[in-house]
Amino acid sequence: MVVQEKKVILITGSSSGFGRLTAETLAKDGHVVYASLRNAGGRNKGFAKELEKFAQVNNASLKVIEIDVTKTNSIDKAVKQIIKEQGRIDVLVNNAGTLYAGITEAFTDEQAYEQINTNFLGVVRCNRAVLPYMRKQESGLLVHISSILGRVIFPFFGIYSASKYALEALAETYRYELSSFGVDSVLIEPGPFETEIGKKLHVESDAATRTAYGAVGELQGKIFGAVGDILSKGQVANPQQVADAIKQLIDTPSGQRPLRTVVGEDFYTQQVNENVDVLQAKVLSALSVSGLAKVKTKTKA
C-alpha cells in the first residue's frame, strides 16, 4: 500500500527488533526511511546489508545511515546528510536502547551512566538535532519507544526503568513545549516482547553485592519466568505490533494522536495512564497553560 503523503523518517537502532521492523514496515508503505545503525560498516555490517537487500527486493526507499546515539557528532552528521538529500525530516523514531537488569545496588555508577546515556541522553541528542528543522517546517513528529516499565515497576529492572521514566517525562514535556510549533511528541509503551534487546541483557558488575542479597536475588528467576510465560502466548509476543502502532501514529493527523500508546501485555499501564491523564490535565489548568496540550496544525505533520 502506498501512502498518500510520503514522509522522510529517521529511525535509530534499526539493526533488529522494533527498529528494523519499523523501518521495513514504513518503507514498504511508501515513506523515505533512513534506518540508522551503529558500526554499520563494521560489527553491524551484516544487518546493514540485509536492510539494503530488503530495499532492493521491495523497491523501497530505505537507506542505511550511521548513527551512534551516544555521540553528538555522529547524530549531527547524519541529520545534516538527510536534510541535504531530502530537505526535511518529518518523523524521528527514537528506538535505540539497551537493557540492564539485576540487583539495582549491584550496578556500578558506570553501568548506570551507560544505561541512561543510551536510553535517555541519546534521545535528548537526537531530538536536539532534528527539532530546529521541524520547528522551521512548523510540522514534525517525535516518536519515543518507551516501555511499560516507564510507568510501572518490576523489581530488578530499576536502572532500566529509571531511564524509561526519564524518557516518559522528557517526551511529555516536549509535547507541551512544541505544540505551538506544530510539532508532536508521542510515546509507545511496549509490554514484554521477544526481541534482540533481551538477548543482549546487561547484568550487574558488583558480584559481591549481588551475592549479599541471597534469596532475594534469586527472585529474579521468578520474574524472568513470568515474563517468559507471557512471551509464550504467541500473538502477544509478536513485535510487529509495535511497528504497526508506530505506522498508525504516523498515519494519524497531527493534533489527533494520543500521547501514549500501550502495545502488548500492559500490567495495568493503561489504567495508570488514564488516571494520570486526568490529574495532569488539572496540573496544566492550575498553571494556566492547558492550551499547550493541543498540537497546533499550522501545516500537515
Question: Do 5 and 300 touch, CB atoms closer than 8 A?
Answer: yes
Q: Is residue 148 part of a domain?
A: yes
Structure-model confidence comparison of residues 196 and 259, the more confident one: 259
Q: Is residue 1 part of a domain?
A: no
Question: Do 27 and 58 touch, CB atoms closer than 8 A?
Answer: yes
Strand 32-37: give its sheet, edge to edge: 62-66, 32-37, 8-11, 91-94, 140-145, 183-190, 260-263
In single-letter form, the type of residue at position 135 comes to: R
Q: Evaluate if residue 115 carries a pLDDT over 60.
A: yes
Q: How many CB atoms lie within 10 A of CB 261?
A: 20
pLDDT at 213: 93
Q: Is residue 230 part of a domain?
A: yes
Task: Find the domain containing 261 and state its range.
Answer: 8-293
In terms of phi and psi (left: phi > 0; alpha: psi -120 to 50; beta: otherwise), the region of 59 is left
Chain centroid to CA 129: how far?
16
- When divided into structural domains, the chain yields a total of 1
pLDDT tens across 30-71, in order?
Answer: 999 999 998 877 788 888 999 999 999 999 999 999 999 999
Averaged pLDDT of the chain: 92
Q: Is residue 3 part of a domain?
A: no
Question: Do 192 and 264 touch, CB atoms closer than 8 A?
Answer: yes
pLDDT tens across 174-215, in order?
Answer: 999 999 999 999 999 999 887 666 667 888 899 999 999 999
Q: Is residue 299 part of a domain?
A: no
Catalytic residue, from 139, 146, 179, 254: name it.
146
State the average pLDDT over residues 92-98: 97
Annotation says 164 is catalytic: yes
287: helix, strand or coil: coil
Burial of 88 (0-12, 13-18, 19+ CB in 10 A): middle
Q: Is residue 154 part of a domain?
A: yes
pLDDT at 45: 87
pTM equals: 0.93
Q: Is residue 60 part of a domain?
A: yes
Catalytic residue, from 7, 28, 63, 164: name it.
164
Catalytic residue, from 160, 174, 176, 213: name it.
160
Annotation says 113 is catalytic: no
Annotation says 15 is catalytic: yes
pLDDT band at 165; cut points 50, 70, 90: very high
Structure-model confidence comparison of residues 203 and 85, the more confident one: 85
Helix, strand, coil % in the chain, rounded to nearest 5 = 55, 15, 35
Query: Helices (DSSP H) in the chain: which residue ranges?
Result: 17-28, 45-57, 72-86, 109-116, 122-137, 158-178, 196-199, 207-212, 214-231, 240-251, 269-286
Question: Which residues are 184's β-sheet partners?
Answer: 141
pLDDT band at 237; cut points 50, 70, 90: low
Q: Evaluate if residue 158 carries a pLDDT over 90.
A: yes
Return the closest-CA partner of residue 4 out of 246, 253, 244.
253
Q: Is residue 2 part of a domain?
A: no
- Kindly report the CATH number assigned to the domain that includes residue 190: 3.40.50.720
pLDDT at 236: 53
Q: How many CB atoms lie within 10 A of CB 162?
A: 19
Q: CA 62 → CA 1, 66, 79, 83, distances in Å? A: 16, 13, 15, 15
State the average pLDDT over residues 164-171: 98
pLDDT at 253: 94
Place of cell 532492493: 56
